[in-house]
């Protein structure tokens, strides 16, 4: 096990009706003038936004609103949010929605107290030293942004997507009522769960040895999704299954599944170029990329993939030919994605093989590599993209 530090100070408020306590927690974490940030309208239609506003009113907290965050959130709205915060003296950013809304809120929270261009952080030109406090009322189990230090924004000037991570944007609290996820269309539920699994895969396939505790956390999260997701696809109102999935989403990405070892993240970065170019759901893009990446890198550590097949999918170990077991685990992963309605190839996603050079260009892979389990240069990334076309 490698040395590590782990600090995950988000206050989680989990369960039925908890959104009605939002105002109480905003006050507790020092907010008095709030920007409520939300997406394309699901929180308006469900009545959630009104309940959140009522809970702020109850505490005498003033607020302004900025809706319109698109999935794969855009830089343009972030600039608007920053202006608004500066003009209105906002001291707290409250995201009501999913990962896109939370990520946009995080970018606004950094930009509002920074003199330069917020994109400096995402371009690697500056590190954020502070931010307004950010919190969320979560409506989809997926990105894990409610407990993560990350934010991913699409720059509209070139349509490319970049992540940024900093402790200053880890949310101070997250309200998580699993009932709020019951209005999700099945495709979004499945795409969210694929993202949850992907966050674990990025951490499970590692070159660091003897991190048994972290392996077992990872396997628990994966097995939970595999068991609970079919239940909610069958019955969207299954509270217990929704609750298990929602907490799994947070556990998959607050790094409890990653500490003590090297992580990969090539598949996420290869996917980000897909969701930036085709505006597909991030999870759907991952369902296409992961089986391809797994197929490509499996020979690097057959035993690790065989362990994954046996422990997660219940495959029988073929001791004479462990690569058979490893291959079976990958096949089971792909079949699972298909069974939950996810695309597993470029064409099913609406992506085009002839766009691969463009994807590699926006990835800016020349002269560097992606991933750590196996380091991928331009040629190797291209091969993974090509495998994803099959
Ligand atoms: O915009 P609205 O109308 O709210 O609709 C959203 C959106 O269309 C809808 N939705 C959300 N909750 C709903 C609902 N519809 C009905 N009922 C509900 N309860 O779902 C759609 C997708 O929302 P979005 O916020 O985009 O989903 P998700 O949470 O999957 O976030 C995806 C974004 O997170 C980034 C991805 O790249 C992507 O841009 N990621 C962020 C990470 C992080 N910050 O740590 C890590 C991840 O790996 C990921 O890259
Ligand atoms: Zn993700």
Average pLDDT over residues 57-76: 97
For residue 72, the ligand closest to its alpha carbon is 1
pLDDT tens for 33-47 read 999 999 999 999 999
Q: What is the interface pTM, i.e. ipTM, of the complex? A: 0.99
Q: What is the pLDDT of residue 47?
A: 97
Strand order across the beta sheet in which 62-66 lies? 11-14, 173-176, 134-138, 92-97, 33-38, 62-66
Can you tell me the mean pLDDT for 152-164?
93
Element (H, E) at 332: helix 322-339
Q: Is 314 in the pocket of ligand 1 (CB under 6 A)?
A: no
- For residue 259, the Cα-to-chain-centroid distance in whole angstroms is 17
Mean pLDDT of 120-146: 98
C-alpha to C-alpha distance for 196 and 246, rounded to whole angstroms: 10
Is residue 68 within 8 Å of 40, Cβ to Cβ? yes
Whether residue 139 has its Cβ less than 6 Å from ligand 1: yes
pLDDT the model gives residue 117: 98
Residue 184 DSSP label: S
Buried b (16+ CB within 10 A) or exposed e, 95-131: bbbbbbbbbbbbbbbbbbbbeeebbbbbeeeeebeeb
Residue 141 alpha carbon, nearest atom of ligand 1: 29
Asked whether 103 lines ligand 1 (CB < 6 A), one says yes
Structural contact between residues 97 and 183, judged by C-beta atoms closer than 8 angstroms: no
| pLDDT (mean) for 355-367 | 95
Question: Which two tokens mark 41?
Answer: 């309208």
**Contacts with 171 (C-beta within 8 Å, 6 or more apart), sequence order:** 10, 95, 102, 134, 135, 136, 145, 146, 147
For ligand 1, the distance from its centroid to the CA atom of residue 292, given in whole angstroms, is 24
Report pLDDT digits (tens) over 271-297.
999 999 999 999 999 999 999 999 999
125: CB partners within 8 A, 6+ apart: none
Residue 225: per-residue pLDDT? 98
- Testing ligand 1's pocket by substitution, the residue of 100, 149, 202, 268 carrying the most ligand atoms inside 8 A of its CB is 100
Query: Which of 52, 143, 249 has most ligand 1 atoms within 8 Å of its beta carbon, as the pocket-test mutant?
Result: 143
Question: Ligand 1: which residue has its CA nearest to atom 49?
Answer: 143
- CA–CA distance, 151 with 142 (Å, rounded to integer): 13
Q: Tens of pLDDT along 311-336?
A: 999 999 999 999 999 999 999 999 99
Q: Which atom of ligand 1 is nearest to the CA of 163?
A: 50
Quote the ligand 2 centre to 151 CA distance (angstroms): 10
pLDDT at 335: 98
Rounded Cα distance, 349 and 249, in Å? 23
137 Cβ inside 6 Å of ligand 1: no
Ligand 1 nearest-atom number relative to CA 180: 19
How many H-runs (helices) and E-runs (strands) does the chain carry? 16, 8
How does pLDDT run across 80-109, given as a tens digit for each residue? 999 999 999 999 999 999 999 999 999 999
Burial class of residue 218, CB neighbours in 10 A (0-12, 13-18, 19+) = buried
The pLDDT of residue 15: 98
* pLDDT for residue 343: 98
Ligand 1: atom nearest CA of 48 is 19
Question: Could you tell me which of 207, 182, 220, 240 has the C-alpha nearest to residue 311?
Answer: 220
Q: For ligand 1, say whether the CB of 249 is within 6 Å of any of its atoms.
A: no
Whether 180 has a pLDDT exceeding 90, the answer reads yes
Is the beta carbon of 196 within 6 A of some atom in ligand 1?
A: no
381 in contact with ligand 1, CB cutoff 6 A: no
pTM of the model: 0.98
User: What is the distance in A from the centroid of ligand 1 to the CA of 283?
Assistant: 9
Segment 157-164 shows an average pLDDT of 92
pLDDT at 159 over 90: no
- Tell the burial category of 17 from Cβ atoms under 10 Å away from its Cβ (0-12, 13-18, 19+): exposed
Could you tell me if residue 96 is left (phi over 0), alpha (psi between -120 and 50 degrees) or otherwise beta? Answer: beta
In the predicted model, what is the mean pLDDT of the chain? 97
Helices (H), 41-141: 42-45, 48-58, 75-88, 99-111, 119-122
Would you call 204 helix, strand, or coil by DSSP? helix
Q: Whole-angstrom Cα distance, residue 71 to residue 279? A: 8
- Whether pLDDT at 337 is above 90: yes
Q: Decide the pairing of beta strands 173-176 and 62-66.
A: unpaired
Indicate which residue's Cα is closest to atom 22 of ligand 1. 71
The token pair at 157 is 């000037």
Q: Rounded mean pLDDT of 195-214?
A: 98
Bridge partners (DSSP) of residue 93 are: 35, 134
181 within ligand 1 shell (Cβ under 6 A): yes
């Amino acid at each position: 096990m490698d040395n590590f530090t782990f600090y995950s100070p988000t206050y989680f408020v989990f369960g039925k009706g908890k959104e009605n306590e939002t105002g109480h927690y905003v006050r507790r974490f020092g907010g008095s003038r709030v920007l409520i940030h939300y997406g394309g309208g699901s929180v308006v239609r469900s009545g959630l936004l009104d309940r959140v506003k009522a809970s702020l009113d109850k505490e005498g907290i003033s607020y302004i609103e900025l809706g319109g965050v698109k999935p794969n959130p855009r830089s343009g709205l972030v600039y608007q949010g920053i202006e608004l915060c500066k003009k209105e003296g906002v001291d707290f950013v409250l995201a009501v929605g999913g990962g896109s809304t939370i990520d946009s809120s995080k970018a606004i929270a950094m930009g509002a107290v920074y003199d330069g261009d917020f994109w400096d952080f995402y371009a690697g030109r500056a590190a954020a030293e502070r931010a307004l406090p950010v919190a969320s009322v979560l409506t989809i189990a997926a990105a894990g942004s409610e407990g993560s230090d990350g934010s991913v924004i699409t720059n509209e000037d070139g349509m490319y997507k970049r992540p940024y991570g900093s402790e200053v944007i880890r949310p101070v609290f997250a309200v998580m009522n699993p009932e709020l996820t019951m209005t999700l269309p099945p495709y979004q539920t499945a795409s969210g769960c694929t993202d949850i699994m992907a966050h674990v895969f990025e951490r499970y396939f590692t070159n660091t040895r003897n991190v048994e505790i972290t392996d077992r956390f990872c396997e628990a999260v994966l097995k939970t999704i595999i068991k609970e997701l079919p239940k909610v696809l069958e019955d969207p109102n299954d509270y217990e299954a929704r609750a298990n999935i929602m907490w799994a989403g947070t556990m998959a990405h607050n790094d409890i599944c990653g500490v003590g070892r090297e992580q990969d993240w090539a598949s996420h970065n290869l996917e980000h170029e897909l969701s930036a170019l085709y505006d597909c759901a991030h999870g759907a893009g991952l369902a296409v990329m992961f089986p391809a990446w797994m197929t490509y890198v499996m020979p690097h550590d057959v035993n690790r993939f065989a362990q994954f097949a046996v422990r997660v999918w219940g495959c029988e170990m073929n001791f004479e030919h462990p690569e058979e077991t490893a291959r079976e685990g990958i096949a089971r992963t792909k079949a699972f994605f298909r069974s939950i309605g996810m695309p597993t190839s470029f064409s099913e996603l609406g992506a085009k093989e002839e766009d691969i050079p463009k994807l590699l260009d926006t990835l800016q892979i020349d002269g560097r590599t992606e991933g750590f389990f196996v380091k991928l240069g331009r040629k190797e990334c291209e091969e993974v993209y090509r495998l994803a076309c099959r």
